[in-house]
A and B are shown apart, each in its own frame.
Chain A
């Protein structure tokens, strides 16, 4: 229990040269009384140490479900992973027995959630909730674990950590609470951090502070960071690469600057055009027509076709567009990526 490294090294198929995290053709569906909702339909992406990958998309595009699948905390039932692989350093997490999977959580892959107030347990002090990690995963004594909790609060720059460790979540401000969440996720020095809309619930000024803190901690620890967001502004500042998700698929993947300069998928393009820009003040904003598809009834072919101004007949027919390599390190799932790129 205490020697976490030995436990991790014993994972079947562990290969330190393999990519830090690789998701391949992930499919997740929710089987409910009213039908099957296909939340993720073949998502693929990878993550390297020290890198920030932004997963971008509207709510309901499957980005949070993907994150939960990686963590192994999908509510099941109704959630089921029907196909695909999630590999950490070559280890297929989906084939791992639950006991080992649990060790990976928090130790190697950790997650922070959007709403820290509801994500923290209201009836325990933040100290208890932090110390719990060290007690359960490291077998530390109560006082040692508590000291570590104070250290962590210090690291995430919570003033007066030694006394605040005895406070309850609701006694913190929104920004401070999110810092507690970050401290909790970083407690066991994970290599991958998944941040699911970490700043959406916060004020704009606080948002910047939290993103700054995340970036700083990431640099110090050389962590891979998956930043899940619908906010293109946040992405531009911190991400290295972007995966744009639509209806459970990654429709475009590219380094952040390329995508802003020249989007390769109509959906990405539409997203960029819907951001209000100062230099275009006074002109009408382009909004995306229609609604994201119901996950119980995803359109044939390219899921975006009913809302797409480039759509032609092939787009409306199965199979869905493959991931075209449109440039080095860039893919887009659009038959007409050349037109979209403006070539």
Chain B
């Protein structure tokens, strides 16, 4: 195999080409990646829908008239009306906000928990690592949706629309993957020469952690979080669908799907559109995560 190896070495860019940082290489790679651009544009549009829904529709998602019940698409409401006579397009657009809010907040929470757990387990090693890894194992011992059903069931008594309950549930139950990735990349970075050199030169643990280890562990961490954002949005919809997520007057794709499903035989459009938006949103974030990972870890392509 030595010859084959040599050939790759011979073809690798020369030293001057290598002086570009990993991040620089990754960005150059991303810029040429169509999937990255498609997902990035989708994400921007989704964020706009979430925070400035009035850009996309002038209709009021709360203004429903039973006389419009199950009417098909028309000039005013291009996706038609649902069983309560609400404008499906308007509700779908306004439903973006709940999904994105829950998705971002719960991912931030999971990310923070994962960062704390993973960083300390990886950095301190030994007993700390053993204990924290066992805790992670135990959390992984409860399949996500089962834990979420019990947990948000108990939080459900509250009067609000459930955004905080769902966020808390998702955050508490989904940090494990982030923690594992953080831990293993911290361990990998920690054993590298320049970190050992830093330690020998007397850099404090805090400085080592935040100046050397953290930045180098960030890439894979961000990838995991991007994908987690997508799956958490899907999870919110599932919880809402099952009746333990967002509730009451909340406008949410999961709720829309649950309501429309009972009438799918009569009118399919109220079921189809929120489904399409939900899938597209999840897809956008997963694709984005995939593209970033490919850029940072090109060897598996």
Listed in ascending order, the chain A residues whose CB lies under 8 Å from chain B are 30, 32, 34-35, 37, 39, 59-65, 75, 114-115, 197, 294-296
Contact = CB atoms under 8 A, between A and B. Distances in A.
B3 A39 contact: yes
Given A60-B2, A64-B2, A197-B2, A39 B11 contact: no
Interface in B1-30: 1-7, 10-12
Interface of B: 1-7, 10-12
Nearest to B10: A294
A64 B2 CA distance: 8
A197 B6 CA distance: 15
A64 B3 contact: yes
Contacts of B12: 34
A291 to B, nearest CB: 10
Contact of B10 (A64, A75, A114, A295): A295
Contacts of B4: 64-65, 75
B82 to A, nearest CB: 52
B202 to A, nearest CB: 38
B11 A65 contact: no
B2 A37 contact: no
A59 B11 contact: no
B11 A60 contact: no
Contacts of B10: 37, 60, 294-296
| Ranked 9 nearest A-B pairs via Cβ | A60-B6, A294-B10, A64-B3, A59-B2, A34-B11, A37-B7, A65-B3, A295-B10, A59-B6
A293 B250 CA distance: 69
B11 A35 contact: yes
A197 B3 CA distance: 12
Contacts of A114: 1-2
A30 B6 CA distance: 12
Contacts of A32: 7, 11
A295 B10 CA distance: 7
Nearest to A33: B11
Contacts of B11: 32, 34-35, 37, 294, 296
A295 B11 CA distance: 8
Nearest to B7: A37
Contacts of A65: 3-4
A30 B10 CA distance: 12
User: Which of A59, A62, A63 is the most central at the interface, judged by chain B CB atoms within 10 Å of its CB?
Assistant: A59
Contact of B7 (A63, A197, A295): A295
Given A32-B11, A34-B11, A39-B3, 15 more contacts: A32-B7, A35-B11, A37-B7, A37-B10, A59-B2, A61-B3, A63-B3, A64-B3, A65-B3, A114-B1, A114-B2, A294-B11, A295-B7, A296-B10, A296-B11
A64 B4 CA distance: 8
Nearest to A62: B3
Contacts of B5: 59
B11 to A, nearest CB: 5
A296 B11 CA distance: 7
B171 to A, nearest CB: 40
B275 to A, nearest CB: 40
A30 to B, nearest CB: 6
Nearest to A67: B3
Contacts of B2: 59-60, 64, 114, 197
12 contacts: A32-B11, A39-B7, A59-B3, A59-B6, A60-B2, A64-B2, A65-B3, A65-B4, A75-B4, A197-B2, A295-B6, A295-B7
A145 to B, nearest CB: 29
A314 to B, nearest CB: 27
A61 B10 CA distance: 12
A63 B5 CA distance: 13
Contacts of A75: 4
Contacts of A63: 3
A35 B7 CA distance: 11
Nearest to B12: A34
Nearest to A113: B1
Nearest to B9: A60
Nearest to A32: B11
Interface centre among B3, B7, B11, B12 (most CB of A within 10 A): B3
Nearest to B11: A34
A278 B5 CA distance: 33
Contacts of A62: 3
Contacts of B3: 39, 59-65
A55 B183 CA distance: 47
A39 B7 CA distance: 8
A268 B57 CA distance: 80
A296 B7 CA distance: 8
A301 to B, nearest CB: 20
A35 B12 CA distance: 10
A62 B6 CA distance: 10
Contacts of A35: 11
Nearest to B13: A34
Nearest to A63: B3
B18 to A, nearest CB: 14
A75 B4 CA distance: 10
A35 B14 CA distance: 14
A60 B3 CA distance: 4
Contacts of B1: 64, 114-115
B181 to A, nearest CB: 27
A123 B12 CA distance: 33
A226 to B, nearest CB: 15
A247 to B, nearest CB: 11
Nearest to B3: A64
A205 B6 CA distance: 28
